[in-house]
Structure 1
Amino acid sequence: MYFFLILMVTLALGYGVLMLRYTLGWKRLKNYVVAVPRMGTTPVTVIIPARDEENNIPPLLEALKHQTYPVNLLEVIVIDDFSTDNTADLVRNSGAPNIKLLQMSQLLDKAQRLNSYKKKAIEMAIGHASGSLIVTTDADCIMGPRWIETLVHFYEDRRPKFIAAPVSFFKEDNFFKKLQSLDFMTMQGITGAVAQLQSGTMCNGANLAYEKEAFYDVGGFSGIDKIASGDDMLLMYKIYNAYPEGVMYLRSEDAIVRTLPVDTLKGFMNQRIRWSSKADKYEDKRLFWVLVLVYIFNVGLLAMAVTAIFLPVLWPWLLILLLFKVTMELYFLLPVAQFFNKTGLLVYFIPGQIFHIPYIVLAGWLGKFGSYQWKGRNVN
């Protein structure tokens, strides 16, 4: 038992140092402000893979129609991934001349089995893109009118090869969705922190931008195309490996993309298992070892909680470690929540730990050894 306690205290200290580093990174990350207002000149193609999104895509198309960026420089390609609903017709009838529809059913044999349809969809769309700056988002997202304008200004000011930009949940209308939003906001804060510290590579495919030339320079998705997930982070690492100074995070409220939390526990677990399934595929071992530390620490806390039922002497140690964990996470999360205007969600943080620790353990395990469903498909 003493060895176990020493191990847990050591893991906790390591976790505390990690959270302090993330806090430092986020606080050093300055809000991006356009120094001199101007009109961008970069041709942009927004790529949106979509499968059975008839309920979500109308507000996204409306948001894209209201972008402040010049229409003649902005192309939107929605690539339909064998939808069985009205998604394609909604795009086709959008009424905007710069919104175009591609259909995988016309470019790919439906009988052909792929493990990553999303990567294939993005790759096909890039092949048809006229823009030199590729921007990706998801069909269940919305954004403000200055989204593209802000991305372009940042790109033209800093000339990165790859831009990771902020994503936030919205319409958190119940306790379950509020917990998802807190968890997702934590990951977004870490994304910005590691970019500022240059200590890892993280991003979310709902809000990315990268040079089309850089995409082809690194071979696109070649080498990672058999991995079901990772159209965002695995590509980011390929570009980072080729251009170590060329990957940046854009911290700007005008650049935030908002996406929907999932409605069911099953959908949530499938999503998080999908995200964790690529953990051992990262060539960036800094991130891999961070994930190992976080996972083992949470496994230890869960094991301690179960063991404490039979060994009550462990309860004080468990409470001390939980208090330490919560304190370090809240210290990091407060400035992140202020940026996303979501400080009101922090009241749910402590009760959320009851669900957060078991889900981390389960999703991590199933991401490595299990399978999941995504868009009606079973994926290994």
Structure 2
Amino acid sequence: MPWEHWRLRCSNAAPSYPRVPMLVAFIFFGFFFSVCALMLWWLVRAKPVIVASSDCPRVSILVAARNEEAVIERCLASLTQLRYPTDKLEILIADDASTDNTAGVVRRFIADKPQFRLLTVRHRLGTARGKSNALAHLCRAATADYFFITDADMALPPDWIQTMLGAAPDGVGVVTGVTTCNTTLFGRLQGLDWLFGLSVIRLLTDHGLPVTAVGNNMLVTRAAYESIGGYEAMAFTVTEDLQLFSLIVAQGWGYRNLLDPRVLGVSVPQPTVRCLLQQRKRWMKGAVRLPWQLSALFGLYALFYVAVFWPGLLSLGSIAVLFSAKVLCQMVFLKITLRQAGRRESWAVLLGYELYLCLMSGAVLVYTVVPGPIQWKERRYRWAEG
């Protein structure tokens, strides 16, 4: 009897190993929602007032175009609506060996607009390739001290120039605006993706972490650009905007990421899931070069799904509570971001974004891991060279 009593006491005192995963889960979810609360707090307090520049220096707007006949006129039309003196605008479009009628569409549109000029790109400069090469030609041809870089599938707001200039005092070498998409529901969900990611990047930038610039809505000063030797001196990459930003910051230049309706560009969304996967595979190539803090933040976001749905770890009630809390935080974050960007979206679409995010994140991971080239503007690049 004494021996049996002692054995039972020891077994009761032994550690309960199933409690260890529960403790780890408690710590993880506590940390996850603490980070969510911090990001929401930063977002609510992030109300910098960007004073549009009252000066009107000469500026160069640069548009690299390859096979964009279906969308480029929309971009050019938006540039004619800029509230900026026409005689201070130089708008250069590079036809990057298009195989469609991009050049013809541009020529017809700019025929009576002397501020526009079309360049034909047929040879490489230095190490530049693809879009980087087109941009290298554009920067060489530009005559102003400010380069405004955008894509042929973008439409820019009327006060884009003055607002971006207002965020670029002496010492700031690169400024990034904000981007979204619209039209169909699929396009609006892509727009939320843009806003979500750029809002997080803006918050990190505001707190002193240089993350990246986005090449479809970007201001680069000539001085900053020339300090790194230009695109023709850069090692080739399919994420030339991130590389340009990193090199400029490494030279000691300042940087800004803006979330303001006056710098909100509206991109044409990817038309199909396949096209979207091709775009995101290229982005994933650039993601490996992002600062570890941002990678850790997005990794934490991905781990949430692993932890909350781990077999046997949580009860159904706990899963429902945690998942609902995450979705609510996400919806509130997007709602505030939309308000700061001057946009609106229904709560139903914000709720549906969670399903889109889950499905697309899984699909992008699979598509990226499966061997195959990076396809971009009807060109193919190997993963290693990109």
TM interval, short-chain normalised: 0.7 to 0.9
Aligned partner of 1:163 in structure 2 is 175
Aligned partner of 2:237 in structure 1 is 227
Q: Percent identity?
A: 21
Counterpart CA distance in 2 for 1:202 and 1:188 is: 10
Counterpart CA distance in 1 for 2:378 and 2:235 is: 20
Deviates more, 1:179-188 or 1:315-324: 315-324
Q: Is the 8 A contact 1:298 1:360 kept in 2?
A: no
Q: Unaligned regions of 5+ residues in structure 2, if any?
A: 1-17
Aligned partner of 2:60 in structure 1 is 45
Change (3 A) 1:224 1:25: farther
Q: Is the 8 A contact 1:29 1:251 kept in 2?
A: no
Counterpart CA distance in 2 for 1:115 and 1:378 is: 15
Aligned partner of 2:38 in structure 1 is 21
Give how far 1:155 is off: 2.5
- How far does the alpha carbon of each residue in 1:266-303 deviate from its partner, in whole angstroms, 9 at most, with x for none? 11111122112211123x332233233333334545x6
Give how far 1:22 is off: 2.7
Say whether residues 1:291 and 2:298 are aligned partners.
yes
Give how far 1:249 is off: 2.2
* Counterparts of residues 323-338 of structure 1 (less than 5 Å): 323-338=324-339
Aligned partner of 1:138 in structure 2 is 151
Aligned partner of 1:253 in structure 2 is 261
Counterpart CA distance in 2 for 1:61 and 1:84 is: 20
Aligned partner of 1:374 in structure 2 is 376
Q: Is the 8 A contact 1:169 1:181 kept in 2?
A: yes
Task: In structure 2, give the amino acid aligned to 1:372.
Answer: I
Q: Is the 8 A contact 2:180 2:265 kept in 1?
A: yes
Task: In structure 1, give the amino acid aligned to 2:242.
Answer: M
Determine which structure has more spread, i.e. the larger CA radius of gyration.
2
Counterpart CA distance in 1 for 2:314 and 2:30 is: 21
TM norm structure 2: 0.83
Q: Secondary structure at the match of 1:77?
A: strand
TM norm structure 1: 0.84
Q: Is the 8 A contact 1:40 1:69 kept in 2?
A: yes
* Counterparts of residues 1-380 of structure 1 (less than 5 Å): 6-34=23-51, 38-41=54-57, 43-93=58-108, 94-95=110-111, 96-105=113-122, 107-108=123-124, 117-156=130-169, 159-171=171-183, 173-174=184-185, 176-221=186-231, 225-228=235-238, 230-243=239-252, 246-282=254-290, 284-301=291-308, 304=310, 307=311, 314-364=315-365, 366-367=367-368, 370=371, 371-379=373-381, 380=383
Q: Is the 8 A contact 2:277 2:367 kept in 1?
A: no
Q: Secondary structure at the match of 2:375?
A: strand
Q: Is the 8 A contact 1:40 1:153 kept in 2?
A: no
- How far does the alpha carbon of each residue in 1:344-376 deviate from its partner, in whole angstroms, 9 at most, with x for none? 243222233223123224424544664432222
Counterpart CA distance in 1 for 2:166 and 2:50 is: 9
Change (3 A) 1:9 1:331: farther
Counterpart CA distance in 1 for 2:232 and 2:28 is: 37
Q: Is the 8 A contact 2:174 2:220 kept in 1?
A: yes
Q: Secondary structure at the match of 1:155?
A: coil
Q: Is the 8 A contact 1:25 1:192 kept in 2?
A: no
Counterpart CA distance in 1 for 2:306 and 2:45 is: 31
Counterpart CA distance in 1 for 2:24 and 2:379 is: 40
Q: Unaligned regions of 5+ residues in structure 1, if any?
A: none
Counterpart CA distance in 2 for 1:92 and 1:268 is: 30
Counterpart CA distance in 1 for 2:132 and 2:278 is: 18
Change (3 A) 1:354 1:65: closer
Give how far 1:259 is off: 0.9
| Structure with the larger RCO, 1 or 2 (CA within 8 Å, 6+ apart) | 1
Deviates more, 1:23-32 or 1:84-93: 23-32
Q: Is the 8 A contact 1:49 1:121 kept in 2?
A: yes
Change (3 A) 1:22 1:164: farther
Task: In structure 1, give the amino acid aligned to 2:97.
Answer: F
Give how far 1:202 is off: 3.3
Change (3 A) 1:369 1:116: farther
Give how far 1:338 is off: 0.9
Counterpart CA distance in 1 for 2:229 and 2:117 is: 25
Task: In structure 1, give the amino acid aligned to 2:49.
Answer: Y
Counterpart CA distance in 1 for 2:20 and 2:128 is: 43
Q: Alignment length, in residue pairs?
A: 362
- How far does the alpha carbon of each residue in 1:175-203 deviate from its partner, in whole angstroms, 9 at most, with x for none? x2232222222112112211211234133
Q: Secondary structure at the match of 2:167?
A: helix
Counterpart CA distance in 2 for 1:258 and 1:271 is: 17
Give how far 1:165 is off: 1.1
Q: Secondary structure at the match of 1:258?
A: strand
Counterpart CA distance in 1 for 2:327 and 2:256 is: 29
Give how far 1:13 is off: 3.4
Task: In structure 2, give the amino acid aligned to 1:38.
Answer: S
